Amino acid sequence: MDSSVLTTAQAIETLRQKVNSVKLPDNLLTNLEELFSQLAINSRNEESFWQNYQSASKYINYLISVPWFSQTQDILDTQFAREKLNEQHYGLDTVKDRLLEYISVLALQKDRNPDNPIKAPVLLFVGLVGTGKTTMAKSIASVLGRQLIRIPFGGLGDPLYLRGQSRIHPEAEPGQVIKGLINSKSINPVILLDEIDRVADDALNTIMGVLVELLDPEQNSHFVDHYIDYPVDLSRAIFCATCNNTSRIATAVMDRLEVIQMPSYTDEEKIVIGRDYIFPKVIKEAGLRPEEIKIDASVWDQIVRPLGFDAGVRTLQRNIEGLCRKVAKMIFEGKTKQVVVDESNVKYYLPQW
C-alpha cells in the first residue's frame, strides 16, 4: 500500500503483518516489539514518523528475507560426487580424492550425529591463475547439492563490505555475507571467499579479523552483521577459499584453513581439457554446430601454447573462444559451411600479437 494513504497505525500494522508472515527467532521478535513501540511513540509527529517508518520497513524487509530456518538437504554420495568431479575437471586426482574424503566425513557425521551441525574443515585452494581453484570450489556446492555464495576479495578495502553498516547511516545495508544468504535462500550454503590474498593493503588487518570470525566455528554460530544487528548462525554453512599464494594471509586465518595445492597443468593435460571439455562447450556458446568446425589433432599444441608456458587454462579458453568466433562470423556471412583448422590455417585463427 502507498504510505501516503495509510494512517500511522495502519502503517505499523502493515509491518507487523510482514513480521508475522515468516518464522523468526524469538529474541528477534522481542527486539522488533521495541521497534514497533518506538514507531508508535514517533507517530505523534507525522513527518518524523514517516522517515523512521521507511527505515524500519527497509530493515524488516531484509530481516524477513534472511533464511533463518531454511536449508537444503545434502547429497552425500561419493559415487555421484566422483562422476560430477570427473565431468567438470580433468586430472587433479589428488584434489578429487581429498574432496571425496571430505564428503565421506560429512556423511558419517550426519549419519552418526544427526542433531549436530556438520563440522567441515575450511578448504583453501592455492595455485596459479587458471588452475581451477574457483571452479573446484564451485564443484563442492554442485556435488553436495548446496547453493553457492561467491564473495570476491580482489581489491577489497572495507570490512563493512563483509559485515554491513549500522542502521544509523541513511544508506546502510547488510554486508555481502548476509546478502549472500538472502540470495541463496538457505542458511547452509557453500560460501566461497575468492582471492583472499588480494585484499587492499590498508585494510588487510581489519579484513583478516573479520575472516577469523567467519571461519572460526566457535564464533561463526553467532555472526553479527552491523545492519541486521542480531546474531546469525553460520555454523551450518561450508566455507572454502582461494588464493594465489599464502604470504599475505594472517597466521590466525591460516590456522583455520586446510591448504589444497592446485597443480599446474602439463601441455598434454591441457590438450585433453581443451579438446574434450572447453571446445564442446564453446561451440555451443558460439551458436555453432559440431559439424561446422573441426580442429586437426596436429595443431592442438599450438592452440595450447602460442606464447610459451602458462600454468592454467585461461589462455587456452580464450584462444578457443576467439577461434570459434572467427568461424561463427564466416558461417554467418555465408563464406563457408564448415571450417577445418589445421597446419595450413591455424595461425589465422589464433590471436595475432
**pLDDT tier at 306 (50, 70, 90 boundaries)?**
low
The domain of 342 spans 267-349
Q: Is residue 126 part of a domain?
A: yes
Residues 101, 203 share a domain: yes
| Cβ–Cβ under 8 Å, residues 190 and 140 | yes
Each residue of 268-282: b (16+ CB within 10 Å) or e?
ebbbebbbebbbeeb
Helices within 154-246 (DSSP H only): 160-163, 176-184, 204-215
Residues 246, 200 share a domain: yes
**pLDDT tier at 294 (50, 70, 90 boundaries)?**
very high
Task: Between 117 and 134, name the one with better pLDDT.
Answer: 134
Specify the pLDDT at position 353. Answer: 55
Specify the pLDDT at position 309. Answer: 57
Is the pLDDT score of 207 beyond 90?
yes
Each residue of 19-34: b (16+ CB within 10 Å) or e?
beeeebbeebeeebee
% residues pLDDT > 90 (the chain): 53
Q: What is the pLDDT of residues 1-30, one digit of tens each?
A: 444 557 888 888 889 999 999 999 999 999
Count of domains for the chain: 3
Specify the pLDDT at position 2. Answer: 46
CB atoms near residue 310 (< 10 Å): 19
Question: Which of 18-22, 113-117, 118-122 has the least mean pLDDT?
Answer: 113-117
Residues 247, 141 share a domain: yes
Residues 236, 161 share a domain: yes
Residues 280, 189 share a domain: no
Q: What is the mean pLDDT of the chain?
A: 88
Residues 304, 171 share a domain: no
Supply 33's cell numbers: 516489539
Average pLDDT score over residue span 53-67: 93
Residues 125, 240 share a domain: yes
Closest CA to 81 of 71, 96, 94, 92: 96
Beta-strand ranges (E) seen in the chain are 122-126, 148-152, 190-194, 223-224, 231-232, 238-243, 257-261, 293-295, 339-341
Helix axes 8-20, 26-42, angle to 10 degrees: 170
Residues 179, 37 share a domain: no
Residues 113, 40 share a domain: no
Question: Which of 196-205, 300-309, 335-344 has the least mean pLDDT?
Answer: 300-309
Specify the pLDDT at position 119. Answer: 72
CA atoms within 13 A on the CB side of 112: 7
pTM over 0.85? The answer is no
Q: Report the SS3 class of residue 178.
A: helix
| Cβ–Cβ under 8 Å, residues 114 and 52 | no
Specify the pLDDT at position 1. Answer: 42
Q: Is residue 70 part of a domain?
A: no
> Parallel, antiparallel, or unpaired for β 231-232 and 223-224?
antiparallel
Specify the pLDDT at position 311. Answer: 64
Q: What is the pLDDT of residues 67-87, one digit of tens each?
A: 999 999 989 899 999 999 988
